[in-house]
């Protein structure tokens, strides 16, 4: 689908889920690179993981705002709060919306399904309804590689069927894509879904394996390696994800009229993944080496005694592998940061942040 150029300078941009992990990194890029406008961060700062990390990311954004020509506004609240969402749209009239707010985590969805329905479905619907009343130039939202479920064909292509999710989290993300497509068709809302593949990096989510494993090793605990280590993940460094999101924001699916006189849905989907799946055991070995290098762990740390091989967990899949060729075709970008460099940056940040 052809693209309509979206100028971000001087615009009002709403980023939900900031100061979450990806959201905070995106807002920091916008604060650094735009020459004017307003960026609105909306997040409820919940305690799914340590809120201190969100406060830390928010402090980085506020510091950047002191010298940025872009005005930053932080609104504490949930996208599931429909009156709040409506007030934000009525007051600020955003030109571009990036919805990154969601209840994340595959395993957490097994025991806490209500959180996923509230945020990923009701909250998502609230954003769409607000845009129906207040049209935007481009709606970009986070989907997930989890929608590919148990697909056997790799790499995963956006052309693949994604009808067999293996977790509630994945099902809500697939539902978001379907609902957004229907709103794009009915109300001509230019929309782009981004399927992220295992995002990692400094100040990331503590529930992600690389972060939680580091904490357990520092505390002398054992790390559980699922499927006995027979997993591969398409790990994607957060800077690559941010670059991909930023490029996509600037190119909205172009509005067209079909033969029936009705809108052709201005809707696109892209994978944002590293395109180089890494075995879980190789990833763990690299992480351990970088933790030693950064001084997070001593050089004589007995890693072998702190590993526990366990079966696959419900909701997990053995392999994730992105085909990001459409992203490169339409936006001239594919991820470039490999795990050695990415984990080195994480380990150095961890050492500084936790004073190890």
Positions marked catalytic: 169
Q: Name 176's Cβ contacts closer than 8 Å, sequence gap at least 6.
A: 120, 121, 124, 141, 143, 193
Which tokens sit at 56? Answer: 């830390």
Helix (H, G, I), strand (E, B) or coil at 199: strand
- Polymer length of the chain: 356
Task: Give me the helices (H) in 134-220, please.
Answer: 168-187, 209-218
Which tokens sit at 317? Answer: 């899949």
Find tokens 């959180």 and name the residue.
115
Radius of gyration of the chain (CA): 20
Q: In the chain, how many H helices and how many E strands?
A: 12, 17
- CB atoms inside a 10 Å sphere around CB 184: 23
Q: Are 5 and 51 in contact (CB under 8 A)?
A: no
131 vs 162: CA distance, rounded Å:
26
Which tokens sit at 205? Answer: 């989510």
Helix (H, G, I), strand (E, B) or coil at 276: coil
Q: Are 197 and 234 in contact (CB under 8 A)?
A: yes
Task: Please report the sign of the dihedral spanned by the C-alpha atoms of residue 168, residue 318, residue 239, residue 66.
Answer: positive
């Amino acid at each position: 689908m052809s693209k309509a150029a979206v100028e971000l300078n001087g615009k009002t941009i709403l980023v939900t889920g900031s100061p979450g992990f990806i959201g905070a990194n995106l807002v920091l890029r916008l604060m650094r690179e735009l020459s004017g406008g307003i960026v609105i961060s909306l997040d409820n700062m919940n305690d799914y993981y340590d809120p201190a990390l969100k406060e830390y990311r928010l402090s980085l954004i506020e510091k950047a705002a002191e010298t940025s020509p872009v005005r930053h506004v932080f609104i504490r609240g949930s996208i599931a709060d429909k009156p709040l969402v409506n007030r934000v749209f009525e007051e600020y009239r955003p030109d571009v919306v990036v919805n990154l707010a969601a209840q994340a985590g595959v395993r957490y969805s097994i025991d806490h399904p209500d959180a996923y329905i509230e945020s990923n479905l009701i909250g998502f619907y609230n954003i769409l309804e607000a845009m129906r009343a207040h049209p935007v130039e481009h709606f970009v939202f986070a989907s997930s590689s989890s929608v590919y479920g148990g697909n056997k064909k790799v790499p995963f292509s956006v052309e693949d069927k994604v009808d067999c999710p293996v977790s509630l989290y994945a099902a809500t993300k697939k539902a978001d894509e379907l609902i957004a497509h229907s709103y794009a068709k009915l109300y001509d809302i230019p929309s782009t879904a981004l399927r992220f593949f295992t995002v990692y990096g400094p100040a990331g989510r503590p529930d992600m394996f690389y972060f939680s494993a580091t904490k357990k090793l520092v505390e002398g605990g054992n790390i559980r390696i699922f499927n006995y280590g027979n997993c591969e993940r398409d790990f994607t460094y957060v800077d690559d994800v941010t670059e991909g999101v930023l490029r996509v924001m600037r190119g909205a699916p172009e509005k067209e009229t079909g033969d029936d006189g009705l809108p052709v849905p201005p809707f696109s989907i892209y994978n944002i993944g590293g395109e180089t799946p890494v075995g879980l055991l190789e990833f763990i070995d690299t992480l351990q080496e970088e933790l030693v290098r950064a001084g997070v762990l001593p050089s004589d740390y007995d890693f072998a005694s702190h590993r526990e091989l366990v079966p696959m967990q419900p909701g997990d899949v053995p392999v994730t592998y992105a085909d990001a060729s459409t992203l490169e075709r339409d936006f001239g970008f594919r991820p470039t940061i490999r795990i050695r460099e990415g984990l080195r940056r994480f380990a150095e940040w961890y050492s500084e942040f936790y004073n190890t």
